[in-house]
Amino acid sequence: MSTEQEQQVTDTLERLHAADGVDAVEAIRVEALGKQGWISQLMKTLGKMSPEERQSEAPRIQGLRARVAEAVEDRKAALEAAALEERLASERLDLTLPAPQAPRGTVHPVAQVMDELAEIFADLGFAVATGPEIETDWHNFTALNMAETHPARAAHDTFYFPDRNADGYQMLLRTHTSPVQIRSMQDHGAPLRIIAPGRTYRSDSDATHTPMFHQVEGLVIDEGIHLGHLKWTLETFLKAFFERDDIVLRLRPSYFPFTEPSVEVDVGYATEGGRRVVGGDGDAPGHAWMELLGSGMVNRRVLEFAGVDPERYSGFAFGCGIDRLAMLKYGMNDLRAFFDGDARWLSHYGFGAVDQPTLSGGVGAPVGVGA
Ligand code: 2NL
């Protein structure tokens, strides 16, 4: 009887050893140790034995059961370990594989042009000045010698806030960045060389006007500043900005309340494949003139308003749309697309996330030299 049982245990252990999967091991376990299994049946026979017989048989049968149970667990563990080994060997993680590209933003053309302006004018000794977009009517109009009756002050041209500030000034969204220059003169006095780029607002909206747009103004105050300084500075700036040496300017007399005399500046351009390309004499065949910016010698009344002595100092100033500069340099034709926030337009016209200003070698470098 016990030799037969020993044989059965040996068989079971051999079959367990040969079992090639967890399912096969489980089937063998049920055959031996399950409710109807042969070892479980043997256990039941203990109940029918005499106490003496049970005392000698019970440890033996429990021994059989323990050997089989242990063999089942060992085989299961061995098979699971082998399966894990196989997975580890086949599922290799290649850490040298390039990671998927994270989505990257791009530099907006307006931001790019602002960077370029800062770069060019830094070479000419200008600092970048900034100031509030919500202004008083004094800084935005009065200090710029704009009469109480000036049409630009009209409510249909300017965005006004309903309440006045603590000093009784009417508040508005600045219509140009000139108030930044007024504040700079008040804070720092003369001499001064600054550009003031930033957002400006006018109650205007059509194909060529957006209610928010970007402007850059420049201001130089020192002793002996004259119109020649203005012309040279604008010429040098435009040559660097458009990266061409053949920029030709035409200065026309004009009128602004804040400058006297006032000068409208045109630039010569050619039309190539339906695109305006800046450069060349506007009077040359196939060329024309385009109005690019307004400028002039700072009106002495503006210097007085800003606390600068007009007997000692003179200065020039200019103002220009940044959006317009971007359109001309990068061949964009629809101003409204600038502020639609359409990512497809940006990926077409935008610049890399870490783009540098495209200027070749700074002001004074020969055209075409540099990065
Ligand atoms: C234009 C013309 C201009 C100025 C802006 C200015 C600023 C101060 C004093 C005097 Cl603080 N002038 N700025 C001067 C002339 C023209 O802008 O057509 N802008 C788009």
Res. 369: pLDDT tops 70: no
- Look at ligand 1, atom 3, and give the residue with the nearest C-alpha: 319
Inter-residue contact 296 to 252 (CB < 8 Å) = no
Residue 266's pLDDT is what?
A: 95
- At 325-348, the pLDDT tens digits run 988 888 887 788 888 888 888 888
Res. 367: pLDDT tops 90: no
Omega cis (within 30) before 191: yes
Task: Give the span between the Cα atoms of 289 and 267, in whole angstroms.
Answer: 6
316 lines ligand 1 (CB under 6 A): no
- What average pLDDT does the structure give for the chain? 89
- At 66-113, the pLDDT tens digits run 888 898 999 999 999 998 998 888 888 888 888 888 877 788 899 999
Task: Give the span between the Cα atoms of 182 and 261, in whole angstroms.
Answer: 19
- pTM flag (> 0.85): no
Task: Give the span between the Cα atoms of 331 and 52, in whole angstroms.
Answer: 107
Interval between CA 216 and ligand 1 midpoint (Å): 9
Task: Give the span between the Cα atoms of 309 and 304, in whole angstroms.
Answer: 6
Ramachandran bin of 306, using left for φ above 0, alpha for ψ from -120 to 50, beta for the remaining angles: alpha
Residue 285's pLDDT is what?
A: 95
Which among 296, 265, 261 is positioned nearest to 178, based on CA atoms? 296
Inter-residue contact 171 to 135 (CB < 8 Å) = yes
- Look at ligand 1, atom 19, and give the residue with the nearest C-alpha: 319
Which among 253, 139, 154, 151 is positioned nearest to 196, based on CA atoms? 139
- At 116-160, the pLDDT tens digits run 999 999 999 999 999 999 999 999 999 999 988 888 888 788 999
298 lines ligand 1 (CB under 6 A): yes
Inter-residue contact 248 to 219 (CB < 8 Å) = no
- At 160-182, the pLDDT tens digits run 999 999 999 999 999 999 999 99
Structure tokens at 109: 């053309």
Task: Give the span between the Cα atoms of 310 and 260, in whole angstroms.
Answer: 13
The number of the ligand 1 atom at minimal distance from the alpha carbon of 320 is: 20
CA atoms within 13 A on the CB side of 346: 15
Interval between CA 295 and ligand 1 midpoint (Å): 6
Task: Give the span between the Cα atoms of 365 and 371, in whole angstroms.
Answer: 12
Residue 175's pLDDT is what?
A: 96
**Ordered DSSP codes for 311-336:** TT-EEEEEEEEHHHHHHHHHT---GG
319 lines ligand 1 (CB under 6 A): yes
Interval between CA 277 and ligand 1 midpoint (Å): 25
Q: How confident is the model at residue 359 (pLDDT cuts 50, 70, 90)?
A: low
Residue 356's pLDDT is what?
A: 60
Interval between CA 162 and ligand 1 midpoint (Å): 27
Residue 280's pLDDT is what?
A: 95
182 lines ligand 1 (CB under 6 A): yes
Inter-residue contact 337 to 301 (CB < 8 Å) = no
In 137-211 the beta strands, taken as DSSP E runs, fall at 160-164, 170-173, 192-201
Looking at per-residue confidence, does 297 or 326 come out higher?
A: 297
- At 271-291, the pLDDT tens digits run 988 888 999 999 999 999 999
Task: Give the span between the Cα atoms of 293 and 297, in whole angstroms.
Answer: 14
For the chain, the straight-line distance linking the first and the last C-alpha, in angstroms and rounded, comes to 96
Cα-to-chain-centroid distance, residue 144: 36
